[in-house]
């Protein structure tokens, strides 16, 4: 009989609209559909009593920055859990860019036992997995090949194919997050005489609709992106995507030269495969 899953994360889609939360939501819906879902809980609300009471469940652990040290230790020792990794929480600064070839000195490695004792550590792409493997050298690190989108979102991308309102400009994401390097991207566009506009929206569908009107997206980042979603989104919209190849993990996946409907279809298939794999890893 399939064991029930507790989904653990710092935030969920109804609390924040980041890439990790959107991605997690697809997985949660899948578990619900499979009737494998027990409940979801924010990391900061997890107590030792809660853990002890639910040791018969499978713990599916997404972002866990707010999980207490005691909870990490207890889960590590007693629980059956899978870590669904969205960045690099094995590094004290969560960013391997500071170290040549992304090889992190041992003194900067944290949560090693938490990763080691997991049933599986699921990375989001081959490159993401390689960075984990090169640094942690564990047997339980696996990967899917892409982030995930709901059918509803994929329909939106289908509708937006060949948008008639194409502007002969590049879009630059207007973000206060320094990892997204908005300022540096503006400087890059200006130095290279690339016409651009800043775009932003708090509503996901609106943001994608805005993006679809541009010739392309210029995206600079300051860490090796495990996917990033926006790269695939640009490809699904059929617009150009300019970025740093060595920091864009999905750029190293076999399917990355697809675009438009072909990419949408590929993403749909990869999602189904990934969800099956996740289900299998949870129940191994």
Binding site for another protein (CB under 8 A): 92-93, 95, 97-101, 107-108, 176, 178-179, 188, 216, 218, 220, 222, 231, 240-248, 251, 256
The token pair that represents 30 in the structure block: 């899948």
Cβ 31 to another protein shortest distance, Å: 31
Closer residue to another protein, CB minimum distance, 23 or 180: 180
Closer residue to another protein, CB minimum distance, 129 or 235: 235
| Placement of tokens 């970025």 in the chain | 243
Task: Kindly report the number of other CB atoms within 10 A of residue 52's CB atom.
Answer: 11
Cβ 38 to another protein shortest distance, Å: 33
Closer residue to another protein, CB minimum distance, 43 or 218: 218
Closer residue to another protein, CB minimum distance, 29 or 240: 240
Q: Is the peptide bond before 131 cis (omega within 30 degrees of 0)?
A: no
Cβ 175 to another protein shortest distance, Å: 11
Q: How far apart are CA 260 and CA 236, in angstroms?
A: 4
Cβ 90 to another protein shortest distance, Å: 14
Residue 7's H or E segment, with its range, is strand 5-9
Cβ 147 to another protein shortest distance, Å: 16
Cβ 144 to another protein shortest distance, Å: 20
The token pair that represents 103 in the structure block: 């090889």
Closer residue to another protein, CB minimum distance, 73 or 93: 93
Closer residue to another protein, CB minimum distance, 6 or 72: 72
Q: Give the Å distances, CA to CA, from 215 to 55, 159, 229, 242.
A: 51, 17, 18, 11
| Placement of tokens 């994401």 in the chain | 173
- Residue pair 234/240 in contact (Cβ under 8 Å)? The answer is yes
| Placement of tokens 């210029």 in the chain | 218
Residue 149's H or E segment, with its range, is none
Q: How far apart are CA 230 and CA 217, in angstroms?
A: 9
Q: How far apart are CA 209 and CA 200, in angstroms?
A: 11
Closer residue to another protein, CB minimum distance, 182 or 283: 182
Q: Which residues pair with 217 in a beta bridge?
A: 171, 241
Cβ 261 to another protein shortest distance, Å: 19
């Amino acid at each position: 009989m399939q064991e029930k899953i507790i989904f653990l994360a710092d935030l969920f889609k109804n609390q924040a609209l980041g890439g990790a939360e959107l991605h997690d939501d697809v997985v949660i819906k899948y578990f619900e559909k499979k009737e494998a879902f027990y409940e979801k809980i924010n990391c900061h609300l997890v107590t030792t009593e809660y853990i002890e009471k639910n040791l018969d469940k499978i713990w599916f652990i997404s972002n866990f920055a707010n999980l207490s040290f005691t909870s990490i230790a207890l889960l590590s020792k007693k629980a059956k859990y899978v870590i669904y990794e969205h960045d690099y929480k094995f590094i004290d600064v969560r960013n391997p860019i500071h170290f040549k070839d992304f090889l992190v000195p041992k003194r900067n490695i944290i949560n090693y036992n938490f990763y080691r004792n997991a049933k599986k550590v699921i990375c989001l792409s081959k490159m993401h997995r390689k960075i984990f493997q090169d640094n942690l050298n564990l047997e339980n690190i696996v990967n899917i090949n892409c982030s995930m989108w709901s059918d509803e979102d994929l329909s939106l991308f289908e509708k937006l194919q060949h948008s008639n309102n194409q502007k002969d400009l590049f879009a630059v994401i207007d973000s206060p997050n320094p990892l997204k390097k908005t300022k540096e991207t503006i400087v890059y566009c200006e130095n290279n005489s690339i016409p651009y506009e800043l775009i932003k929206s708090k509503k996901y569908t609106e943001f994608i609709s805005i993006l679809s009107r541009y010739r392309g997206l210029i995206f600079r980042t300051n860490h090796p992106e495990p996917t990033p979603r926006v790269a695939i989104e640009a490809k699904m919209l059929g617009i150009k995507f300019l970025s740093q190849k060595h920091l864009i993990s999905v750029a190293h996946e076999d399917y990355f030269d697809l675009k438009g409907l072909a990419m949408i279809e590929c993403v749909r298939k990869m999602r189904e495969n990934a969800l099956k794999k996740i289900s299998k890893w949870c129940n191994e």
